[in-house]
Amino acid sequence: IADWVMLARRYANNPTVIGADLWNEPKGTSPWTIWFAAAERIGNAILAVNPSLLIIVEGSGENQVWWGSNLYGVITNPVILNIQEQLLYSVHDYGTSVFPQAYMFDPAFPTILKDIWTPYWAYLFVNNPNPRAIFVGEFGDPLTLNINKVWMQTLLNFMNGDWFLNGQNQLKPDEKGL
Catalytic residue set: 25, 138
Cβ contact 26:66 at 8 Å: no
pLDDT for 116 equals 92
pLDDT at 50 > cutoff 70: yes
DSSP letter at 112 equals T
pTM of the model: 0.92
Please provide residue 4's backbone torsions phi and psi, each rounded to the nearest 5 degrees: -65, -40
Band the pLDDT of 66: cuts 50, 70, 90: confident
Cβ contact 164:155 at 8 Å: no
pLDDT at 134 > cutoff 70: yes
Band the pLDDT of 31: cuts 50, 70, 90: confident
Give the largest Cα separation in the chain, rounded. 51
Residues 6+ apart with CB under 8 A from 139: 92, 93, 94, 152, 155
54-58 and 19-21 beta bridge pairing: parallel
